[in-house]
Amino acid sequence: RGIRVGYTPDVLTDATAELSVALLLSACRRLPEAAEQVKSGGWTTWKPLWMCGYGLSDSTVGIIGLGRIGQAVARRLKPFGVKKFLYTGSGPKPESAAEFGAEFVPLMRLAEESDFVVVTCALTPATQGMCNKDFFSRMKKTSVFVNTSRGTVVNQEDLYEALSQGWIAAAGLDVTTPEPLPTDHPLLSLKNCVILPHIGSATYATRSTMAVLAANNLLSGLRGEPMPHELKL
C-alpha cells in the first residue's frame, strides 16, 4: 500500500549483549536461587557443595548466530577465560570469527561440545523450533542454555523436559512463547530456569536512543524525505 517503514537498527546490540551475559551468569552460578535462600532462611552453616554452579574459565561457549549481538556477547565473554568459541548459522563468517578464534561447526556438534550455549540468531523458518529435544539431548549434563533471540526458536516443552530430567544443568531465557509467559507455566516451577520479561534492550540510554531514532524516522517520513533508517521493502 505504499506505506514506508522506519526501524531502529544497531542501537540495542550492547544492551542485549550485556543482558545475555548477565543471564548466563545468573543461570550458571544459580544467583536467583541463592538470593532466595538468603530470604527464606536456607543460608545456614557453610557446606562445601551448597549452591555450587559452573564457571566460564576454561570453558567452551557455543553461539548460535554470530551477528552483531552474537559477536558482542563473545567479546564480553572472552575476558572470563573462555578456552574456545564455537558458532553456527547460515554460513561461516571468517572475518567476524577471527577476533575470537571461533570455529564454525554444525548445530549438533555445537550442542555436544559446548559448556554454554547462547542463542542470538534471527527468527526464520530455518531457526523456528531449532532448539528441541534432539538438540537438548545432545548437550552435556553440566551445560547451560541461554536464549535472548526469539521465544519460538526454542521448543519450550522440550526445554522443560531437558531441565526437569537433568539433561542439562540450567537455562536462562529473556524471550518466551507467549509473552508474557503465564504465571502457571511449567518452566516457572523449575529452580534451574531463570526467566526475565524480555528486557534485553532495557537500559535508559538504549530506550532513549531508540525513541529519538523512531521520532526522526517519523518526521522525515511525514516530510517525504529519506528516513535516517528506512526498511527497503
List the catalytic residues.
198
What pairing do the DSSP bridges indicate for beta strands 170-173 and 193-195? Answer: parallel
Instruction: Output the CA torsion sign for 138, 87, 231, 19.
Output: positive
Neighbours of 184 (CB within 10 A): 7
Phi-psi region of 58 (alpha: psi -120 to 50; beta: other; left: phi over 0): left
Distance CA(112)–CA(88), nearest Å, equals 13
Rounded Cα–Cα distance for residues 122 and 182 (Å) = 24
Q: How many angstroms separate the CA atoms of 168 and 116, rounded? A: 10
| One-letter identity of residue 36 | E
Q: Hey, what's the cell of 18?
A: 550485556
How far does Cα 110 stand from its chain's mean position?
15
Query: What is the C-alpha to C-alpha distance for residues 177 and 39, in angstroms, rounded to an integer?
Result: 30
Cα(78)–Cα(61) distance, integer angstroms: 10
Q: Please, what is the angle between helix 13-28 and helix 204-223, to 10°? A: 150
